[in-house]
A and B are shown apart, each in its own frame.
Chain A
Amino acid sequence: MKRAGKLCLVFLLIVLSTTGCWNLREPDQLAFALGTALDLTKDGLVEASVQIAIPSGVGGGQDSGGGMNKKSFRVISANGKNAYDTIPILQAQLSRNLFFGHRKVILIGQHMAEHGIGNLLDEFVRNPQSELRSRIYVVKDGQGKDVLSVEPIFEPFTSTSLVSEQTSLNLKHYYFHDFLTVTLSQGMQPMLPAVSLTALKQIVYTGSAILNKDDGLKLAGFLNIKESSYANWITGRQTGFAITSFVTQGDGNVSLKLQSLGRRIRVKRVNERILIDVQLIGKGNIVENNTNLDPTKLKDLYIIQDELSQTTQKSIQQLIEKVQKRYKTDIFGFGESVHQQYPQQWKTLKRTWNDTFSKLHVSVKVELQCKDPGETNSSIMSMP
């Protein structure tokens, strides 16, 4: 008993003396930074904007009093030589300490992305106060600062609405640390989700931005929403999406809602040439049928499945070709597959992987399966 007491005292003293961790922070002494936007000024400086939550404006309690008309957030900006250089200037504008522990998004403006963000990454990793679970977005045709200032529809903050948007798009969460993993890997190039602002100041998801890490993480180009979902299917980031395609035999469109996506990438070596074999399996339900085919009949169902698979396969092949020829960046992670399956050969291949990738022979096989023909049999229109 006595010994236990002494032991506790010793532990306490050790904690007190070695860590010196008196870092008590009351929530009302903190300025919660919910989002950071990085833009490039005309002078070539980094412009960092931070979205600060104003708790009294959120109105969590009934007793917020006269603060009803208060905004729930404010965006402040500062210019600096690098990312951290802006923080003291940002802090100078605030009466409370900036707190990045709850940062939900990092937005990168298009100019910044074109300039390359390779130099900015270091601060996010090195600074212990940084939050690696932030989602990362590229802002197409605009500045990150503008996106942060938008009043979202549902939530009090843009940052949190951008988080929920990923879930509603059936995307796996793209965290900043995922971006880091890809950037630090050998055979894969980063592909970040992209948003843009409409004329009515609304945020829309516009697909993905491709960065080239061998060129200082400069923006290589954008993919549209459809292409992004195909690319994300191959990398395993998509959990589901809908395909609508024309079925010639039925003379109409069929919509298939995919809910289970599978993929397999196999690497073959034939005479020193590398062949990539991508096999994609998607399972889903038919949600709309404008054809005169009856999906409850097995024969018709096969026709729909085959045609949908064919067109999807063609689109994916086109996408891969486009990425190979135009962007020359391996966003699909084929290099990683080669690395895993032929580690010896990879040592020589990795130096010239970008060139190899653009000339790579990729065969795609898509297999779509309709698990459920829907609540009715043939199309309503074609019913007798």
Chain B
Amino acid sequence: MDLFRKSHLKNKLKTNINQSIENSSSNISKNIAENEKFLKNMFQNCSDIIFREITIHGETKLLLIYVDGMINTDIIITNILKPLMYDGMPQGLGTIDSIVQMCGQELFSVLQTKKLSKLGDIAEHILKGNLAILADGEDTALLSNVSKFKTRAVEEPYNEASIRGPKEGFTELLRTNTTMLRRILTTPKLKIESLKIGKLLQTDVVIAYIEGIVSMSVLNEVRKRINRIQIEGILESGYIEESIEETHLSPFPQMNVTERPDVVAAGLLRGKVAVISNGSPCALVIPVTFWEGLQAPDDYYERFMFVSLIRWVRYIFVFFSVLFPSVYIALTNYHIELIPLKLMMTIATLRERDPFPTMIEVFMMEFVFEGLREAGIRLPKQIGPLVSIVGALVIGEAAVRAGLISAPIVIVVAAAGISSFIIPRYRFGYPLRMLRFPLLMLSGTFGLFGLAIGMIAILIHLIHLSPFGTPYLTPVTPQITRRLKDVLMRWPRKRAIHNEPNNEVDQP
């Protein structure tokens, strides 16, 4: 029943949309009352849409339509109402046949204006914060951009902190974001193509790239896939990501998501394509490789020696975080000979009182760890630290003291968990944390053989994966020796002392 009602509602909605689309493509008429009636019908039950009628000298009627709260009222008063109401018409009435033209050219020439005649377009512009001015006897409407509404200020993106480098992050407003990008990349070659996605919402989405540097095959593929998106509307760039990604069946992210304009700019300079959608501070940078997922923004801002060291620390911790629990299980349960005697004795001593098999212990602890992590994210900031205290003390300390869990397990799980947080792009830690579980299963059933098979399967998958035609493991495989130096270490830029020409693009 419920289901039926839902589908019924959907159908109704669809027919409504279809109707309004049919009507909205029609032009406005010369009769202002007719237009008002039509628009009022369209914005029925929309209490935030203001219709304001203005009578000048008791003769010509003007109709102002806008969304309450999205308009800068100061500008309306000083630049629109005042000249119209008090100053009067410049040359007297009747001599000018188009009041709209007059307003646009003479009265409000300081404002950004646009003339539209389709009702649908007018409605759309009103909803985006424009002021619509309709005049009696005119078949065009004047739309002026006097929007002003509250948005979040440009802040430091605290999900992608960096020690050195620009501190500003994207906001929810598309225009602000493109401005930030344009401010960094001050070149006419930066192209920002505008699109509208969504049958209902028509969300503004831009595709940004640098002409001449961008890989045309990737750009065309992105355009093609975005145009194919069939969706009601887009609330977050995640909708686009999911709709255009190569395959859903991969734990590895296929595009980079960033809140930092400098990261997007760096990506564009490397020939990537950025997709930014209105309402979301997260921009997509397409495509991404495995190695770029392990890089931090300030890798390229700090001096190269330290960064190269830190990169290797990251690589090692990536392996550590995926493999440590499963290697521990495989060694203690199958390949006891491989553990040095003293260590084995310590482990055996600590295991003496344990009621559960190692496998179950590790699974339990992994599960609890993931739960604690999730709880820590979702809780309000004031309660956040409490979770870590309860987690560390109750789960770690008390469980070991009570003899429910052996101490090495706590160390193994905590070390592997913490090391998955070392990855600077947070979401690249997701596959590592997910893959730990199947690997645990394999190593718990087949020992190191199982682990090897699991690793081979992951490798096969990684080699197979090539989002937007770029193999995921480039430049390691397929090997591109020239670019390899940026993976093995962070290659320094050429020093300017030697006056050597430097044509290479060496950006993050």
Contact = CB atoms under 8 A, between A and B. Distances in A.
B408 to A, nearest CB: 10
B447 A99 contact: no
Nearest to B461: A4
A231 B445 CA distance: 50
A27 B351 contact: yes
Nearest to A101: B337
Which 4 A-B residue pairs are closest in the complex by CB-CB distance? A60-B349, A101-B337, A60-B346, A55-B348
Given A15-B453, A60-B345, 6 more contacts: A30-B336, A55-B349, A59-B349, A61-B349, A63-B401, A102-B337
Contacts of A99: 336
Most B Cβ at <10 Å: residue of A22, A101, A131, A156? A101
Given A12-B453, A32-B345, A61-B407, A102 B351 contact: no
Nearest to A65: B353
Given A8-B453, A26-B358, A27-B347, A56 B341 contact: no
B357 interface: yes
B395 interface: no
B349 A58 contact: yes
A109 B350 CA distance: 35
A199 interface: no
A25 B333 CA distance: 5
Contacts of A145: none
A1 B333 contact: no
A104 B337 CA distance: 11
Nearest to A23: B334
A53 B352 CA distance: 13
Interface of B: 247, 249, 332-334, 336-337, 341-342, 344-354, 357-358, 400-401, 403, 407, 444-447, 449-450, 453, 456-457, 460-461, 464
Given A11-B453, A12-B453, A104-B341, A32 B333 contact: no
Most B Cβ at <10 Å: residue of A5, A21, A26? A26
Please classify the interface of chain A as helix (H, G, I), strand (E, B), loop, or mixed, using the class held by over half of its residues. mixed
Contact of A56 (B349, B450, B456): B349
B348 A28 contact: yes
A196 B342 CA distance: 25
Contacts of A101: 336-337
A32 B352 CA distance: 13
B42 to A, nearest CB: 48
A56 B346 CA distance: 9
Nearest to B445: A22
Interface string A107-138: 00000000000000000000000010000000
Given A26-B357, A99-B336, A32 B346 contact: no
B351 A1 contact: no
Nearest to B340: A102
A160 interface: yes
A167 interface: no
A15 B348 CA distance: 29
Given A4-B460, A8-B457, A30-B336, A56 B345 contact: no
Contacts of B346: 58, 60-61
Contacts of B457: 4-5, 8
A265 B193 CA distance: 83
Interface in A2-27: 4-5, 7-8, 11-12, 15-16, 19, 21-27
Given A58-B349, A160-B341, A25 B464 contact: no
A34 interface: yes
Contacts of A1: 247, 249, 461, 464
A64 interface: yes
10 contacts: A15-B450, A21-B447, A24-B334, A25-B333, A26-B333, A27-B351, A56-B352, A60-B349, A101-B336, A160-B341
Contacts of B249: 1
B508 to A, nearest CB: 31
Contact of A60 (B350, B357, B444): B350
Nearest to A14: B453
Contacts of A22: 445
A25 B334 contact: yes
A102 B464 contact: no
B348 A63 contact: no
Contacts of A55: 345, 348-349, 351-352
A23 B334 CA distance: 7
Contact of B341 (A5, A34, A59): A34
Contacts of A24: 333-334, 444, 447
B58 to A, nearest CB: 74
Contacts of A63: 353, 400-401, 403
B386 to A, nearest CB: 27
A102 B341 contact: yes
Most B Cβ at <10 Å: residue of A15, A24, A156? A24
B333 A15 contact: no
A28 B354 CA distance: 9
A102 B21 CA distance: 80
Given A56-B352, A102-B336, A15 B347 contact: no
A51 to B, nearest CB: 12
Interface string A92-103: 000000010110
Contact of B464 (A4, A8, A53): A4
A121 to B, nearest CB: 21
A21 B345 contact: no
Contacts of B347: 27, 60
A7 B464 CA distance: 14
Contacts of B460: 4, 7-8
A27 B336 contact: yes
Nearest to B329: A24
Contacts of B400: 63
A31 to B, nearest CB: 10
Contacts of A30: 336, 348
Contact of A58 (B333, B345, B358, B461): B345
B344 A32 contact: yes
Contacts of B353: 63
A131 B358 CA distance: 25
Nearest to B403: A63
A7 B454 CA distance: 12
A116 to B, nearest CB: 30
A8 B459 CA distance: 12
Given A12-B453, A23-B334, A28 B345 contact: no
A229 to B, nearest CB: 28
Nearest to A129: B337
Contacts of B341: 34, 102, 104, 160
Contact of A61 (B333, B350, B357, B446): B350
Nearest to B446: A15
A101 to B, nearest CB: 4
Contacts of A27: 332, 336, 344, 347-348, 351
A53 B345 contact: yes
A12 B461 CA distance: 16
Contacts of B358: 26
Contacts of A104: 341
B467 to A, nearest CB: 13
Nearest to B358: A26
A139 B267 CA distance: 72
A11 to B, nearest CB: 5
A69 to B, nearest CB: 15
Nearest to A72: B345
B410 to A, nearest CB: 12
A303 B445 CA distance: 70
A28 B446 contact: no
A59 B349 CA distance: 7
Most A Cβ at <10 Å: residue of B348, B351, B446, B457? B348
